[in-house]
Amino acid sequence: MILNTELEYKGNLFPSKIISYQKNLDTLSFTTDNNVVLQITVQRDSILRFRYTTTGIFEKDFSYAITKYASKGYNFLEVTEDAEKYIITTSKIICHVAKLGMRTSLFDAKDNVLICEDELGFHWEESYELGGDIVKMSKSAQEGESYYGLGDKPVDNNLKGKRFENWVTDSYAYGKNTDPIYKAIPFYTGLHHKKSYGIFFDNTFRTFFDFCNERRNITSFWAQGGEMNYYFIYGPKMSDVVAYYTDLTGKPHELPALWTLGYHQCKWSYYPESKVKEITSKFRELQIPCDAIYLDIDYMDGFRCFTWSKEYFPNPKRMVKELADDGFKTIVIIDPGIKIDREYSVFQEGMEKDYFCKRANGPYMKGKVWPGECYFPDFTNPEVREWWSNLFKELVEDIGVKGVWNDMNEPAVMDVPGKSFPDDVRHDYDGNQCSHQKAHNIYGMQMARATYQGLKKFAYPKRPFVITRAAYSGTQRYTSSWTGDNVASWEHLTIANLQAQRMCLSGFSFIGSDIGGFAEQPNGELYARWIQLGIFHPFCRTHSSGDHGDQEPWAFGSNITSIVKKFIELRYQLLPYLYTAFWRYAMEGVPILKSLVLYDQSDAHTHYRNDEFIFGEKILACPITEPNAKGRRMYFPFGDWYNYWDDELIEGGQELWVDADLDSMPIFVAAGAIIPKYPIQQYVGEKNIDELVLDVYFKLGEETSQVFEDAQDGYDYIKGRYSLRNLKLLGKETSLIIQQFKSGKYTTSYETLKIKFHGLPFKINKIQIDNEVVLFKDAKFSGENTIVISKEFTELHITA
């Protein structure tokens, strides 16, 4: 008997003709005669979910990315059909589904303008080698379309013409355009004709995105397994697209404690205890503000997680207490690799409870990391996450550690191809057993989640602080992050700026870079310029490998030290402004940093800008990213902008040269802004805030600002114990009115506001507070256009 043993290679397969349609509340199902089913779920009026199966049956619906707190519901839904298509209409979107081929087109429901349309649309290729399907989607690019997002990619903001891979990878000393690196965030935003939409491809396998690279006017995304499962999110404002995506995948579960927004110092490694104390003492001696000191892997006993080196740190509880008394919070590193050691309690417990990852044919997944040969907990198992969270009791509750830093959680494995687990490693995946192909991109996320749960439990009643290197969409619910092992180079200063902006565009705002570069050694000029950028990143930390020299603020001579001190002090003054931006991010999903295109998508000049960004709502910043520079050209968005240093007023909508010697940086404030400031402190909580400064920047017209304050830590703000000042400014040629609308039950420690006026076009002749004329001496009016008034005012009126 002769058998044909060759497999039939089918190539790309496509949906055929739709033969049936069903509606079940918010979910519409379309089935073709070749057994493809498209399920469209109306998540919100502006969000549709597209889910395809090629077998007629959907697998269990499960996602680590989508939060259970995501907003749901719609105001209008209508389904009609004609000879060629089904028409789904919500109050924001019209979706056409072609009866032949199942291709979809999406339109703005208000003006019927085409927003996004399938080209080949959904198609697939059977994968004999891996099992299942390689799932693919291609869409036609619209005229002039640009693309943004995708998380941690070290490339220019506009992604058009580029191709990317999402596979969480340990990328030591990566460079510009290195891909992939540490994070997988399969979400992008498209923009054309002043309208913006987003696509979130919720697939944890190795995914790829092509933005008109392979074919000029086609954008596509595909995955090496899993489902074609994506969310279409319509703005049309890009800021709304990002906010809706952040709502879908989760806003931070709580505000960060205010101290976590201070300056942090880190190195691989500060040890022994005497070295740690030497560093912290120097900060206080030089009066350079700092809130946190980090301990890298050398604090452990032989790199065993949850242990301390008796040689280097004989009494960690005493040391942590003494550091806390001096205002320093201690942060320690914890990696996923657990050393194979029968005498080591964490290893023993993991073995007894069978909590470590296994290969497909039974043995444990063994890999070499810092401790030597290790096993790795399966963080996709909820029982393992609970066990892991309880391991933090001693570190956090007993010793007093205030934060934990998860590293190497891609997961990184040394000396093996691919630098990670083999594909055949098995995972529980919360009861949806799978291989590492599916679990790889979420492994670090689930480690960070388990760590977060531990800190939330044992740091209570204070808020948890966790940092992770690896991440997938939704990780922002639990943790902050940094951009991994960068390099001390001018190119990497540029990359750090791009990565932070892109992460914020991708729903993950609590982000920063290793200031000064992790690998190699910066000179003083590069370090100073990096600090200037770093103080505007939500997470602000110097970190270095230590192999190449010292990287503390005083390591580069007294001139650089004074510049660094000046900018770290500025960070501390702006803490109430940054905290307010964080509150908006946590409440509404508004990114803390805004690329210029996010700030004003209607201005075509912003679509390819990389360097300038908006910090919070009202501050425009632009780093100097070249050596020996005395300034730079930068673009000013439409509107009027005050130079932070000298109050010079610049009209926006143009590119200009800005002077910025080494001790300066281009920083501008939007006209009409009211910027809250605290006094300079050596650490958060050092001083009782006895007066809040409000820098008021004059504008002809109206502008609103906010100041959010609470106890700076703890959970009372959730119960309404916060103070929210809504400040409305109305500027005229001979007068200025500021109205305050206050809410919340928190009583601030200060009683007065010091209001500093910038750019007033008139000399103050009369001050009225709540309709009563106030004498200059009673308002402590000074010739510098500064007055002091009660924090409880409702209307301040100054006239010429």
Residues acting as catalytic residues: 407, 410, 485
Q: Which amino acid is at 116?
A: C
In Å, how far are 236, 259, 578, 673, 786 from 756, measured between CA atoms?
Answer: 37, 26, 19, 12, 4
Q: How far apart are CA 396 and CA 455, in angstroms?
A: 7
Write the secondary structure of 496-543 as one string of H (helix), E (strand) and C (coil): HHHHHHHHHHCCCCCEECEECCCECCCCHHHHHHHHHHHCCCCCEEEC
Contact 149, 502 (CB under 8 A): yes
Q: Strand 133-140 and strand 114-126: pairing?
A: antiparallel
Q: How far apart are CA 773 and CA 762, in angstroms?
A: 18
Contact 65, 249 (CB under 8 A): yes
Write the secondary structure of 320-383 as one string of H (helix), E (strand) and C (coil): HHHHHHCCCEEEEEECCCEECCCCCHHHHHHHHCCCECECCCCCECCEEECCEEEECECCCCHH
Contact 346, 391 (CB under 8 A): yes
Q: How far apart are CA 631 and CA 309, in angstroms?
A: 48
List of residues 6+ apart from 703 with CB closer than 8 A? 670, 671, 672, 673, 674, 728, 729
Q: Which residue from 530, 537, 450 is spatially nearest to 490, judged by alpha carbons?
A: 530
What are residue 269's phi and psi, to 5 degrees? Answer: -140, 155
Q: Which amino acid is at 543?
A: H
Q: Which residue from 696, 770, 764 is spatially nearest to 739, judged by alpha carbons?
A: 770
Contact 467, 480 (CB under 8 A): yes
Contact 728, 715 (CB under 8 A): no
Q: What count of other Cβ atoms lies within 10 Å of the Cβ of residue 84?
A: 9
Contact 421, 304 (CB under 8 A): no
Q: Compute the half-sphere exposure of residue 692: CA atoms within 13 Å on the CB side of its CA.
A: 23
Q: How far apart are CA 786 and CA 760, in angstroms?
A: 11
The H or E element that residue 436 is part of is helix 436-459
Query: Bridge-partner residues for 355, per DSSP?
Result: none
Ramachandran category for residue 701: left, alpha or beta (phi over 0 → left; psi -120 to 50 → alpha): left
List of residues 6+ apart from 151 with CB closer than 8 A? 183, 184, 185, 187, 471, 473, 502, 503, 506, 508
Q: How far apart are CA 405 and CA 60, in angstroms?
A: 33
Query: Bridge-partner residues for 474, per DSSP?
Result: none
Token couple for 604:
């075509």
Token couple for 759:
């750019």
3-state secondary structure of 287: coil
Q: What count of other Cβ atoms lies within 10 Å of the Cβ of residue 654?
A: 11
DSSP-assigned letter for residue 490 = H
Q: How far apart are CA 686 and CA 307, in angstroms?
A: 31
Query: Bridge-partner residues for 104, per DSSP?
Result: 97
Q: What count of other Cβ atoms lies within 10 Å of the Cβ of residue 74?
A: 17
Q: What count of other Cβ atoms lies within 10 Å of the Cβ of residue 60?
A: 7
Number of H helices, E strands in the chain: 11, 51
In Å, how far are 172, 412, 470 from 181, measured between CA atoms?
Answer: 9, 12, 9
